[in-house]
Amino acid sequence: MKNKVVIWGTNANEEKVLIALELKADANKVMLYTFPEALADDEFVNKMMNEWREGKEVEFPEGYTALERELSVTESLLPDDLKVDRSDIIQRAQTEWHFAVLSAKLHAAYQQELAEFKEKIEALSTYDNKIWDGLKAFWDKVQSQSRERNLFREHADNLRDNINALFDEMKQLRSKVQGEFVTASQSLFEDFNKILDEVDEKIAAGSAKLGSIFEELKQIQRRYRDARLTNEHRNILWDRIDGAFKKAKERKFGPSANEGSVSERHERRLNGLLEAMKRMESSIRRDEDELNFQQKKINSSEGQLEAQIRTAKIKMIEERLASKREKLAEMDKTKTEVERQVKTAREKEARRAEKEE
C-alpha cells in the first residue's frame, strides 16, 4: 500500500495540472499538491512517478500550490474544482488510506501499551508472573492483529522485536528467582519426606492411635497446599500423602476402605472447588492491579486518543472484574453447601463406625 499518488487532472479553468497526493497517517491528513502543466516537464513528471511515489525526496519547482485536507470516509480526496479521468485510482487510495489511518492508530495504542509494560518491567526487582502473563496476552493480541493484517508488517515487526526484548528481560529475572525457588523447594521437600517417613513407620507398626495419624496427615496436607514447591516435588509428595492416607485407612478399616466413602467424594469436590476459587482470586487480583495502574495513568495521558484508549480499557477491566467477582460469589455459596455435605457425611460415617465397633 503506497501513501502517495501522482495523477494528471484538470482545474476549474479546464487547465491540465499534475496532481500529487500524500497521506499523513498519524495526523489523519492528506497533503494535496498541484503543478500547472507548464511546470511539469517530462523530467519532473518522471521523478514524481518513479522517485517521489517511492518515498524519495524530489525538489518541487516554484509556482505549485499545497493544500492540507482532512481524510474523510465520505468526502473525496480531491476538492470539487479538480477532476481526473481515473477517479477509481483516487477512490481506491481513499479506501486504503482510511484503513492505513486506523491501522496507525492501532499501532499507536499498542506502542502505548508496550511502553506501560516496559515501565512496569524496569521497576521490577524480582520476577513477577502476573506481568509475564500480561505480556504474553499482549503478544498474543498483537499476533492476532498481524495475522488478520490489521497491522502493517513493519509495525508488527517493530512490536515483535520490542516485545521479545521485554521477554528476554523477564527471563533473566525468572532465571534468578527460579534458582532460589528450586533450592527452597528442595529444603521443603526433604522436610516433608522426613515427616512422612515417620508417619509410614507409625502406620506399619499398627499404632492404636490411627485417628491421630489421620489428623497428622490432614495437617501435612494443609501445609503441602500452601508450600511453594516445584512441580516435580509437588507431584512426588502428593503421591506419598495420598498413599499414606490409603494405607492408614486400610489399616484401620480393612482392604475395602479405599473404595471411597461419601465424605471423601464431597472432600474431593471441595478440594477442586477451593483450587478453582484460588485461581479466580488470583485472576481478580491481577485485574485489580491493572485497573489501579490504568486509573493512575489516565490523569497523565497525552492527547485525546490515549485518554480514550485508557478509558475504554478501564471500562473493559471493570466489566471483567464484575463478572469474575460474581462467579467467585457463586463459588463461595457452593463451597458453603459442599462443606455442609462433608460435615453431614462425616457424622453419618462416624455413627456407623461406632455401631460396627
pLDDT, one tens digit for every residue, the chain (357 residues): 688 999 999 999 999 999 999 999 888 899 999 999 999 999 999 999 999 999 899 999 999 999 999 888 778 899 989 999 888 888 888 888 888 888 888 898 999 999 999 999 999 988 898 999 999 999 998 998 888 778 888 899 999 999 999 999 999 998 888 888 889 999 999 999 999 999 988 888 775 566 788 889 999 999 999 999 999 999 999 999 999 988 888 877 665 555 556 777 888 888 889 999 999 999 999 999 988 888 887 776 656 766 777 777 788 888 889 889 999 999 999 999 989 988 888 888 788 767 655
pLDDT of residue 259: 52
Closest CA to 342 of 274, 277, 270, 280: 270
Check: CB of residue 69 under 8 Å from CB of residue 32: yes
Beta bridge partners of 17: 9, 36
Beta bridge partners of 326: none
What pTM did the predictor assign? 0.48
Q: Helical H runs in the chain? A: 42-50, 87-122, 129-147, 153-205, 210-226, 231-253, 262-298, 304-356
> What pLDDT digit, counting tens, does each position of 180-198 carry?
888 999 999 999 999 999 9
> What pLDDT digit, counting tens, does each position of 66-105 carry?
999 988 877 889 998 999 988 888 888 888 888 888 888 8
pLDDT of residue 1: 65
Q: Give dist(CA 248, CA 233) in Å, integer.
A: 23
pLDDT of residue 306: 65
Task: At 319, list the grid cell.
Answer: 466489566
Q: Give dist(CA 152, CA 194) in Å, integer.
A: 60
pLDDT of residue 85: 85
By DSSP bridging, strand 65-70 and strand 16-24 are unpaired
